[in-house]
Amino acid sequence: MADPSLFRLRVVFRKAGRLALLSHLEVARALERAVRRAGLPFAVSQGFSPHMRIAFGAALPVGVGGEREFYDLFLTRYVAPAKCLEALRAGSPDDLMALECAYVEHAAPAASVAYPLSTYRVDLTAPVGEWPVPDAVTVVRKKKEKELAVAEYLAGEMLLADDGRSVMFALEAKPTGSLRPDKLVDACLALMPEKSRPQRAALTRIAQSDGTTTL
What share of the chain in percent tops pLDDT 70?
98
Does pTM top 0.85 for this prediction?
yes
Q: Is the pLDDT of residue 214 over 80?
A: no
> Rg for the chain (alpha carbons), in Å?
19
How many other CB atoms are there within 10 angstroms of residue 54's CB atom? 19
Instruction: Please give the DSSP secondary-structure letter assigned to residue 88.
Output: H
Average of per-residue pLDDT values in the chain? 94
What domains are there in the chain, each with its CATH number? 7-103 (3.30.70.580), 117-209 (3.30.70)
In the chain, alpha helices (H)? 24-38, 81-90, 181-190
In this predicted model, what pLDDT tens digit does every residue of 101-147 receive, in sequence order? 999 998 999 988 999 999 999 999 999 999 999 999 998 877 888 89
In this predicted model, what pLDDT tens digit does every residue of 181-193 receive, in sequence order? 999 999 999 999 9
In this predicted model, what pLDDT tens digit does every residue of 38-57 receive, in sequence order? 999 999 998 888 899 999 99
Instruction: Give, in degrees to the nearest 5, the angle at Cα 93 between 13 and 59.
Output: 40
Q: How confident is the model at residue 23 (pLDDT cuts 50, 70, 90)?
A: very high
Q: Is the pLDDT of residue 1 over 60?
A: no
CA max distance for the chain: 61
Between CA 77 and CA 6 the distance in angstroms is 7
Judged by DSSP in three states, 27 sits in helix
Between CA 210 and CA 148 the distance in angstroms is 22
Taking alpha carbons only, the member of 178, 185, 190, 179 closest to residue 160 is 185
pLDDT confidence of residue 175: 86
Residues contacting 141, CB < 8 A, separation 6+: 177
